Structure 1
Amino acid sequence: MAGTRVPDELAELLVGIQRLLRRRLRRGLDRPRLRGAQVELLRLVAARPGLRVSEAAEELFLAGNSVSTLVNQLSRDGLLRREPDPTDGRAALLYASPEALSRMRDWDRRRRRLVREQLAALGAEDREAIAAALPALRHLAANLRQEDES
């Protein structure tokens, strides 16, 4: 590895690509856009319906009161539903609303289409290089995930 050049460049590229994708996808949205933490919470709850606020806070590495604020905002906007936990009356279970699930599916569909179009605009050699790098990027993501869990 060439000193710090590769890690620095990779980190900058990942952030830059994500930012550019979001910017392009926000164009033409007919609904108010969601902030990053709101989307993260909705994605987590969609993947794990019935999650408690405390579990969401732990998973997202956020303070419980921060997650409670997000839950209040998303509930007010009709994107998240809170139900009492039948085993603990003090706790609430979280569920993504049908509208939230629809918005996330639409966003994901549009993102896939955008990435597909951008990859198609590259030369075959670049597309092959990106495909060849995917296993290594998956390993990098797995390493980051493991460090978060320990």
Structure 2
Amino acid sequence: MASENFAEDLSTALVVVQRLIRRRLRRGAGSPRLRGAEVELLRLVASRPGIGVSDAAKELYLAGNSVSTLVNQLARDGYLIRETDPADRRAARLLPTEAAEARLRDWGKRRTALVRRHVALLDDEDRKALQAALPALRKLAENLHEEAEEI
């Protein structure tokens, strides 16, 4: 049975790890500096080119006007292309630019290298524990995603 504080300890550890990864990656990032929500939107658009603003908002669990603001900023900075949806002239389809794809590739490589470097500093037992925890963490993410879709 997990300790009484397990859920709190786990959520705190995940937040701290994510925050520290983002901070380390910002040091070598290009300009302009992208916020977390901007990176999430770029990653979503790169994985689903042509996604609409309202679908992106649903997927990211953000208000439509918040996503519209992010789209405007990212388009202004040369990372997104906003096209009129031929099926619905009132809607927009979002596409990543080459600059966005290059930046995401660079970010992914740097993130992987950063985590690899710090995992290598752990002892063998800790590395094995992290590897063994991956399926459970993926299932946790899936459960959280499914619950959010129900709301």
- Range into which the TM-score falls when normalised by the shorter chain: over 0.9
Q: Deviations over 1:39-84 (max 9, x none)?
A: 1111111111101111111211222111111111111111000111
Tell me the amino acid that sits aligned with residue 2 of structure 1: S
1:95: Cα distance to partner?
0.2
Q: Percent identity?
A: 61
Q: Where in structure 1 are there 5+ consecutive unaligned residues?
A: none
Q: Report what 1:18 is aligned to.
A: 18
1:38: Cα distance to partner?
0.9
Q: Runs ≥4 in structure 1, deviation > 3 angstroms?
A: none
Report SS of the residue matched to 1:95: strand
Tell me the amino acid that sits aligned with residue 67 of structure 1: V
Q: Summarize the alignment of residues 28-107 of structure 1 with structure 2, pairs less than 5 Å apart.
A: 28-107=28-107
CA 1:30–1:143: 2 relative to 1, 3 Å: closer
Q: Report what 1:134 is aligned to.
A: 134
Q: Deviations over 1:11-41 (max 9, x none)?
A: 1100000111111111133422101111111
* TM-score normalised by the chain length of structure 2: 0.94
Between the aligned partners of 2:102 and 2:147, the Cα distance in structure 1 is: 32
Tell me the amino acid that sits aligned with residue 98 of structure 1: E
Tell me the amino acid that sits aligned with residue 17 of structure 2: I
Say if 2:38 and 2:70, in contact at 8 Å, map to a contact too: yes
Between the aligned partners of 1:78 and 1:10, the Cα distance in structure 2 is: 37
C-alpha RMSD of matched pairs (Å): 1.0
The count of residues paired between Structure 1 and Structure 2 equals 149
* TM-score normalised by the chain length of structure 1: 0.95
1:141: Cα distance to partner?
1.0
CA 1:16–1:38: 2 relative to 1, 3 Å: same
Say if 2:46 and 2:96, in contact at 8 Å, map to a contact too: yes
Tell me the amino acid that sits aligned with residue 45 of structure 1: V
Between the aligned partners of 2:29 and 2:117, the Cα distance in structure 1 is: 19
Q: Report what 1:2 is aligned to.
A: 3
Q: Where in structure 2 are there 5+ consecutive unaligned residues?
A: none
When structure 1 is superposed on structure 2, of 62-71 and 104-113 the one drifting more is 62-71
